[in-house]
Chain A
Amino acid sequence: MSWRKSIAVFTALALITCYSSTLRGMFDQWRSDEDMSHGFLVPIVILWIIWRERERWRSLPTEPSWWGLAFLALAAGLQFGGALGVGLFAGSLAFLLSVAGAVLCLGGFKWLRALAFPLVLAIFMLPKLAIVYNQATLPLQLLASRIAAGILTVSGIGVIREGNILDVGGHRVAVAEACNGIRYLLSLGFMAVVFGYVADSKTWMRLALLFAAIPIAILANGVRVAAAGWLPSLEAGTPHEVAGWLIFVACMAAVIVVRQLFNKAYVHYR
């Protein structure tokens, strides 16, 4: 093994050791929070992308930059804040910054640029930022309730909405905190970016798919709640899981269709 590879391996081990408690915290959240359980797959997808682009890395020149130390210092500050009680999110962000800093120190800006996409993808495995999650939860719950009530009304099914509770002919469905749609948003956002990477090399397309995933996920969650209100058998158990899964498959199909539409428009107006 060359000394460069040895240093890279040593740096990776050092980072894992330094951030072991943070990584354990992330792992625990992936295991315990069903909104975040896709976190297990994110490192696998990142490793697959790195492996897929292996020819590209090999051709890059190695130009170490001292700016990497600035990244590492900033990350150390964040990690320190995380240890003082700022939270797991700060520590996890510090880990990503440290990885970026290490890449700069060992490879330079061209390497960092080449690794930018996997690093951005890694954001999807960060823990939920509590302050954002808490602020977004209730509006998303109410939005899902409104969309579901609207869908049921348009479909000719009588529904009374009281806040986040739908009463469909005496059958009541609550859009609880866990039903706010964040699970669809995170999962579909991640998949839109991955699909954008696999299907298209254009950065704007990947960003466009990510933004398109937001309304698709919100609408799909409303459809899911409406389905549970319309058919009580879809409210729990296996039918409920299957319905949620099928609607997500439809969401992915919608992302694929959106990409084709964007591509057609791009070809047409170019």
Chain B
Amino acid sequence: MHKILALFLVMGFSVCLKAQITLGSTVGTFGVLAGTTVTNTGPTVAIGNVGVSPGSAITGFPPGSVTGTIHSADGLAGTAQTELTTAYNSVAGAGPSTTIAAALGGLTFFPGVYNTGSSFGLTGPVTLDAQGNPNAQFIFQSPSTLTTASGSTVVLINGAQASNVFWQVGSSATLGTNSFFSGNILASSSITLTTGSALQGRALARNGAVTLDTNTVTTPMGLGGPPPPLGTPAPSSLILVTTALLGVFVYQGRKKIFKPFITG
């Protein structure tokens, strides 16, 4: 009985290791998404959509600019919030996790799930090493806050992709001035990007506000997880039939092609 139980545990463990987090296709188009308000100061550049739902207030665009579309309490923002909740719960439930200290500065992480019992604090450079696997995921779980110091950085190396980095934050996240951060921030409450900070990823707040101040938010192309497999359509039928017609003409010879059958 114990052996069977152990087998199931091992199998469950394997499945957990293989499971990959993927954002929904709608929330994936948002660089900034808030539950109550999006407030901007200064010439922020948001590459991707900016939205809010169920709240409706979005201020500061302009002077801020958005390459995508601003969605204020519309259907798309609502769908994005629903997908965010699903993704948040998936990230929060991912495991098994490795428990780490709250201070992440100066550390290098390999793909995996990392958890701290309290809050995350970045006081220096943090390196995420994908070891050559572009599908490798880094999942950081915090029941409390995420705070980065001024000038701190999150560096991606060896194929690591910002779309495959998930920061689950139980309350609020704050990026320090002129810091550079990578990954998708999925916060239960609010997210604040202080002056000059840059985010290569997404700022997604479920219930609170997103506050911006002269930032650059670059939404990655991917949604996390492995890329969908490629399809293999055949060449167009025009090419195929043209080739075959030429082949038939050559096969039959010029005389036969232009000579009709003597049929009834």
A: residues with CB less than 8 A from B are: 34-38, 40-41, 45, 52-56, 165, 172-179, 181, 183-184, 186-188, 190-191, 194-195, 198-199, 201, 221, 224-225, 228, 235-236, 240-241, 244-245, 248-249, 252, 256
Residues of chain A with a CB closer than 8 A to B231's CB: 174-179
Pairwise interchain contact A199-B232, C-beta atoms closer than 8 A: no
Q: Is the CB of A34 within 8 A of B229?
A: no
Query: A34 contacts B233, CB within 8 Å?
Result: yes
Residue in chain B with minimal CB distance to A245: B235
Q: List 24 A-B contacts (CB under 8 A).
A: A37-B237, A40-B238, A55-B260, A56-B260, A174-B229, A176-B233, A177-B231, A178-B233, A183-B234, A184-B240, A187-B237, A191-B245, A198-B248, A198-B252, A198-B257, A201-B261, A236-B230, A244-B234, A244-B235, A244-B240, A248-B234, A248-B240, A252-B244, A252-B247
Q: Which of A38, A173, A228, A241 contacts B241, CB < 8 Å?
A: A38
Cα A198 to Cα B230 with chains together (Å): 39
User: Is there an interface contact between B240 and A183, defined as CB atoms closer than 8 Å?
Assistant: yes
Tell me the interface secondary structure of chain A in the complex.
helix
Residue on A with the closest CB to B257? A198
Residues in A whose Cβ lies below 8 Å from that of B259: 52
CB distance from B77 to the nearest CB of A (A): 30
Please indicate the chain B residues that have their CB under 8 angstroms from the CB of A194 in the complex.
245, 248
Q: Contacts A53-B260, A199-B252 known; A186 to B237 CB distance under 8 Å?
A: yes
Please indicate the chain B residues that have their CB under 8 angstroms from the CB of A38 in the complex.
237-238, 240-241
How many residue pairs link A and B with beta carbons under 8 A? The number is: 115
Chain A residues within 8 Å of B232, by CB: 173-176, 179, 224-225, 228, 235, 240
Residue from A41, A178, A179, A256 within 8 A of B238 (CB atoms): A41
Min CB gap B146→A, angstroms:
34
B243's partner among A177, A186, A224, A245 (CB-CB below 8 A) is A245
Complex Cα distance A235/B240, Å? 18
Residues of chain A contacted by B245 (CB below 8 angstroms)? 41, 45, 191, 194
List A contacts of B260 (CB < 8 A): 52-56
Q: How far is the CA of A52 from the CA of B259 in the complex (A)?
A: 7
Contact, CB under 8 Å: B236 / A37: yes
A236 to B251, CA, bound (A): 31
Given contacts A174-B228, A225-B232, 6 further A-B contacts (CB under 8 A): A52-B260, A56-B263, A175-B231, A178-B231, A191-B244, A245-B235
Q: Are B256 and A198 in contact (CB under 8 A)?
A: yes
**Interface residues, chain B, with chain A CB atoms under 8 Å away:** 226, 228-245, 247-248, 251-252, 256-261, 263
Residues of chain B within 8 A (CB-CB) of A241 are 235, 239
Instruction: For A236, list chain B residues within 8 Å (CB).
Output: 230
Set of chain A residues within 8 Å of B233, measured between Cβ atoms:
34, 176, 178-179, 183, 244
A225's nearest neighbour on chain B, judged by CB, is B232
Residue of A whose beta carbon sits closest to that of B258? A52
Q: Which residues from chain A contact B244 at a C-beta distance below 8 Å?
A: 187-188, 191, 195, 248-249, 252
Contact A172–B248 (Cβ < 8 Å) = no
What A residues does B238 contact at CB under 8 A?
34, 37-38, 40-41
Name the distance in Å between A201's Cβ and chain B's nearest Cβ: 5
Chain A contacts of B251 at CB under 8 A? 256
Q: Pick the most buried of A56, A165, A184, A198: most chain B CB atoms within 10 A of its CB.
A: A198
Query: How many angstroms from the CA of A154 to the CA of B251 in the assembled complex?
Result: 34
Provide the bound-state CA to CA distance between A237 and B228, in Å.
17
| Minimum C-beta distance from B126 to chain A (A) | 29
Contact A41 B241 (CB under 8 A): yes
For the complex, what is the distance from the CA of A60 to the CA of B58, rounded to whole Å?
Answer: 79
Inter-chain contact B241/A224, CB cutoff 8 Å: no
Is A172 touching B229 in the complex (CB atoms < 8 A)?
yes
- Chain A residues near B261 (CB, 8 Å)? 53, 201
Residue of A nearest to B226 (CB): A172
Does A41 contact B248, Cβ atoms closer than 8 Å?
Answer: no
Q: Residue among A55, A184, A252 with the most chain B CB within 10 A?
A: A252
Distance between Cα atoms of A40 and B245 in the complex (Å): 13
For residue A173, which residues in chain B have a CB less than 8 angstroms away from its CB? 229-230, 232
Given contacts A41-B245, A199-B252, contact A174 B230 (CB under 8 A): yes
Tell me if A191 and B241 are in contact (CB < 8 A).
Answer: yes
On chain A, the residues within 8 Å of B240 by CB distance are 38, 183-184, 187-188, 191, 244-245, 248
The minimal Cβ–Cβ distance linking B139 to chain A, given in whole angstroms, is 22
* B213 → A minimal CB distance (Å): 43
CA distance A245 to B242 in the complex (A): 11
A38 nearest CB across to chain B (Å): 4
